[in-house]
Structure 1
Amino acid sequence: MKKWAIGLLSLAGMITLSACGTSQASETEPTSFLPMEPDVSPYIVEEEAEEEGQDHVPYHENWNYIDTVQLTRLMDGLPEISQDRESYDQVPPEWGDVALIDSRPPGVYAAGHINGAINIPDSEFDDYKHLLPEDKDTQLIFYCGGLHCALSGNSSEKAMDMGYENSYVYQEGTPAWKSAGNYFTVTPEYVEEQILESNVARDDTDPVMIIDTRTYAGYFAEHIPTAVFWDDTQYGTKYQGFAPENKDAEIIIYCGGFFCHKSPALADDLLGDGYTNVKVLSGGMPAWKQAGLPTFGMETADADFDVSAGKVDRSVSAEDFEDLIASGATVVDVRGDGEVANGMIDGALHVPDGDIHANDPSVEETLPDDKSTTLLIHCASGARASGVVEKIADLGYEEVYYWNGGISISDDGSYTLN
């Protein structure tokens, strides 16, 4: 039977994308597409399929293509969270010379997009093109709704006309990305729609589960309406039985912002457990509040209640943090291996929070022998530090404190408290 190719998708020469501040590679290591040639099988169709109305976008010889395997390899080399990203309109600064762009309409982008992508709708390209990186050498990757969707290719052409010669088309788009077992990111506006009575009270809509993975004290103070509290580190031991029975149920997870590791971590756990419709509100509570949306909790109630009653408050202010470091406190960094690879405070000890929760014997071996030593714990947003401070105190350390906020650390050891 005769076959024809919608596209013989080849990348001329060797194509290499560099990733800055990655969890898999250092800032100087290149991150390459693997394999070098994209898989062309999704683009091979029977001739009869065209006659029956096949709507795949035809191959364009002036487009550069990237497939799901290559994009996965690339994304594995980029940080999943960002210390410096401030809005959905901003490419994660840590991505360096790579930008991921969703060419679909804003409402579709809001309902679920690839993590880290910005939205430049093809139909409004001229109105949004100012969001493109200033550096014309940046490698732009455009995607939309799959093999039938021409928006990403059209936008890539427009970018190339502007001088962005390193523009690529991820033609397989969102369906393939979801089928590969990835979560999508949503915006506060989309989550708002899910909690409105006009949606919740309808007979033809399914319930949406919203999960807050910040500290319990933070949740108690204020949270998104209808959200429940889960500790991401206890999913397998405590909360797994409370997940929806329906593996296709929509689950939206959030924490402290673009820099917070907890919501992506739980999303990965749920995907690994077979859930197919997992989403992350990557901007978290800060983005929700910046959008002027309501919260429930003690901070919005005319009442006074100490959720930490009977428990020592070990959190410190920014001023206290600086004073403790100046006085010689031992800093304990509980972030993950990939995060600390990009920089740690000088003299800090690295004790991943997962090891602490697992009661790994190496934790005590890493910590100072002198139990009177003052320990100052931090993570990226304060949530993981809060979750382990009492476990470290239970090891017998008398003076244990943690920074309950964000922190950005450079590769030279300098830091900024957020």
Structure 2
Amino acid sequence: MKAKSLLKSLVILSLLVSSVLANDSTNLTKASAKVQSIINKFKLEIVDYNYTKAKIGKGTHNSAKAILVDARPNKKYKVGTIPSAINIPDTDYKEFVNQLKDTAKNKEIIVFCGGWNCGKSPKVANMLKKDGFTNVKLYQAGEPEWSKRNYKEVHLVVTKAAQANNSAVLIDARPYKMFLAETIAGAISIPDTKVEELKGRFPIHQNEKIIVFCGGYKCAKSHKVANKLISMGYRDVNVFAGGLPKWKKAGLSTTKSAGEATSKKASAKPMISENGAKLGLDEGSIDGEWLNGFIKENKVPDFIQIVDVTDPSEFKNGHIKGAINIPAEKLSAKQLYAKLPKGKTIVFNCTAGGRSIEAWTKLKEAKFDVSEIFYFDANVDCKGTKCKIEVNEALGI
């Protein structure tokens, strides 16, 4: 009997381990059927987190051993990307690919986007192959996996917003003498050579947002401090790779310029559309928290129509209650506009905000009236009509 009980326990344990492995985001078998078919069609090689991590070197743009390409929309790239990555959105490929004009065709390139179900990375990888690049790979787990396991690189607009709103701890990783001479107002000094000595200055709470910077894109000091923070268990660590030089070039205030900052907080006065929708700080956005409040209560105002722009298969798996499905990616601006309900305030949504931003941008650039058309910048995970929604932080851009 004991032998049978032991055997039964081992079987159960084996099933539990298998279940954990099957749901491990680092397991290279998690692409949706649709995305996997694209990967197979273009004959693309997938690499994992550890492979990608080894290729970023010290994290600086000049130390990376491969070129990392973020295929997401430019706004998503600015909010946070893998260190050293450049941005080539699938929808603006011709405009952004010029960044590689002087790159050898056999240089290793690793393309990523918004995770296993994101089709943007295989599309961009295929475009690069068509342009003659011969060593193109996919890190298909992409930014979602990376951001859970490591620090991200953020753009000037993120650092600027964090400083203006006091929403992150800014850390200057340069030598203390340089910090005293000039730094970003509000930053604290933790030189990379003094981390052990000064680690008591790090935030108590490990979920605190931290942005580390130093002397620009070739400076590795901020990356060293960021790696130390990750090793200590901090979960929202970011590097502003442009550093103090980028900040000054943008004309923003430093401790040396003594209050001459051109950075200004967005007006606290709420912006309301003609129909009564509360607008977000970013151009074209709905106020995410305002809309999410109605969604949670299942009381979205009658004048608002949420339009889910994802593929029908994604919409079928789950969507916000009351939303309609208009897959926008393959439609022209004219076709998309024609399908929109008339007399309503339209709010585009998708799973992570990228495709909804692209749908809105497509209409705006085509000169359609978008005065009552907006996008919902949020991470939306729905099973049926039960949704977990995390609103993305507005950047005021």
Q: TM-score when scaled to structure 2?
A: 0.54
Structure 2 residue 60 is matched with structure 1 residue 81? yes
Structure 2 residue 181 is matched with structure 1 residue 221? yes
1:57 corresponds in structure 2 to 35
C-alpha deviation, 1:133, in angstroms: 4.4
Distance 1:230 1:40 in 2: 33
**Cα pair distance change 1:214/1:191, threshold 3 Å:** same
Distance 1:209 1:73 in 2: 28
1:168 corresponds in structure 2 to 137
Distance 1:191 1:263 in 2: 14
1:72 corresponds in structure 2 to 53
C-alpha deviation, 1:301, in angstroms: 7.2
SS in 2 for 1:142: strand
Structure 2 residue 192 is matched with structure 1 residue 232? yes
Report percent identity of matched pairs.
Answer: 30
| Conservation of the 8 A alpha-carbon contact between 2:60 and 2:220 | yes
Which amino acid in 1 is paired with 2:59?
A: E
Distance 1:241 1:40 in 2: 33
Distance 1:269 1:70 in 2: 20
1:344 corresponds in structure 2 to none
Distance 2:54 2:109 in 1: 16
| Conservation of the 8 A alpha-carbon contact between 1:212 and 1:228 | yes
2:117 corresponds in structure 1 to 148
Distance 1:133 1:40 in 2: 32
More helix, by proportion: 2
1:182 corresponds in structure 2 to 150
Distance 1:178 1:95 in 2: 18
2:96 corresponds in structure 1 to 128
Deviations 1:4-58 (A, max 9, x none): xxxxxxxxxxxxxxxxxxxxxxxxxxxxxxxxxxx9944258xxxxxxxx68732
Deviations 1:307-353 (A, max 9, x none): xxxxxxxxxxxxxxxxxxxxxxxxxxxxxxxxxxxxxxxxxxxxxxx
| Among candidates 170, 187, 194, match of residue 162 of structure 2 | 194
Distance 2:106 2:172 in 1: 39
C-alpha deviation, 1:70, in angstroms: 2.1
Distance 1:259 1:132 in 2: 19
1:247 corresponds in structure 2 to 206
| Conservation of the 8 A alpha-carbon contact between 2:26 and 2:145 | no
| Conservation of the 8 A alpha-carbon contact between 1:56 and 1:147 | no
Q: TM-score when scaled to structure 1?
A: 0.51
Deviations 1:200-246 (A, max 9, x none): 4xxxxxx31001122323222221122112233333233x2232222
Unmatched runs of 5 consecutive residues or more in structure 2: 1-24, 261-397
Aligned residues: 232
C-alpha deviation, 1:294, in angstroms: 1.8
Q: How does 1:297-308 map to 2 (within 5 A)?
A: 297=256, 299-300=257-258
Structure 2 residue 70 is matched with structure 1 residue 102? yes
2:87 corresponds in structure 1 to 119
| Among candidates 33, 40, 43, match of residue 29 of structure 2 | 43
Measured on the aligned residues, the alpha-carbon RMSD in Å equals 2.5
**Cα pair distance change 1:157/1:72, threshold 3 Å:** same
Q: How does 1:249-264 map to 2 (within 5 A)?
A: 249-264=208-223
Distance 2:26 2:204 in 1: 37
| Conservation of the 8 A alpha-carbon contact between 2:58 and 2:223 | no
Structure 2 residue 226 is matched with structure 1 residue 267? yes
1:210 corresponds in structure 2 to 170
